[in-house]
Amino acid sequence: MDLDAVADELYGLRPEEFTAARNERVAAARSAGDRGLADAIGKLRRPSLSAWASNTLVRAERDQVEPLVGLGEALRQAHRDLDPGQLRDLVHQQRLLIGALTREAARLAADAGHPLGQDAQREVQDTLQAVLADEEAARQWASGRLTKPLTPTAAFPVTSGEAPPRRAEKPDRGKRPAPAEDKKKAAAAEQRRRREVAEARKAAEEADRERAARASEAEEAALRAGEVKEKVAELRDRVESLSEELKEAEANLAQARSDDRTVRDEVRAAERRVRDADRAAQKAARRVEELSDDG
């Protein structure tokens, strides 16, 4: 048993099966004397519903992993190249692929008895968007071991599914240049847009940190609940064991008391026999004396 094998097994289970299975693997590692492995397994976190759905999608649709990862690489390169034509084509592919994969994840989850609500489906979609935006996010998703949904980076502007604006074309030399006032308005509008993007990006990052903090708290609470449940089971077993020992001790005590009464009766009977024998001996001695005096 090693950590990778255990992790692959656990993150392939349903959410409600995760904690009990993890605790069993922890106990098995401890029984085998591998404390380090037991501690590492104990740190594995139960996935949220949307993270489980994303993991299920990766495991069930393995042939779709590479196309999405490849699309993300192409999108990031197109953004670096500022190629609007290529971006429009790629964003169209993005909409189709993410829509199809989100619906497939919802179908798989429903078939497994866990239909996804709108929030969970949105988190699955966010995770897929994050895969397109970030290479590390793509690696995490492809592992099939997510514990919480991924969040698209604010620096990647295709998460809304819209293509970025075209690059401004070079002005026609035969046309008159735009008036200065139009240029000022355009510059002011661009400045406002940049400011709004920065503010939106900051708000998104703060919201992501808050969600991550709440998710971490929930995971810690779930871990503590699992540990408490394990402790309760241990104490229940101990109580049952002690109850059996108590019953046996009570039976032994009852037998000892019975033996004590029997011995006491035997002692009293022996003492009576001693007293009877003593009286008989005294009577015999007196008879001897009487006969001796008559002679």
pLDDT at residue 165, rounded to an integer: 39
pLDDT at residue 98, rounded to an integer: 87
- DSSP element (H, E) containing 33: none
Q: Is 139 exposed, middle or buried (0-12, 13-18, 19+ CB in 10 A)?
A: exposed
Confidence of residue 265 (pLDDT cuts 50, 70, 90): confident
Higher pLDDT, 152 or 117: 117
Query: How many other C-beta atoms can be found within 10 angstroms of the C-beta atom of residue 115?
Result: 14
Indicate whether 172 pLDDT > 70. Answer: no
Nearest to 75, CA basis, from 54, 98, 53, 55: 98
- pTM score of the predicted model: 0.51
From CA 227, how far away is CA 22, in angstroms rounded?
A: 11
Indicate whether 157 pLDDT > 50. Answer: no
Question: Mean pLDDT across the stretch 153-166?
Answer: 42
Length of the chain: 295
Q: CA-CA distances (angstroms) from residue 23 to 146, 199, 239?
A: 19, 44, 21
Query: How many other C-beta atoms can be found within 10 angstroms of the C-beta atom of residue 205?
Result: 13
Residue 269, CA atoms < 13 Å, CB-side half-sphere: 6
Least confident of 58-62, 133-137, 204-208, 228-232: 204-208
Confidence of residue 82 (pLDDT cuts 50, 70, 90): low
Residue 94 CA from chain centroid, whole number: 31
Confidence of residue 68 (pLDDT cuts 50, 70, 90): confident
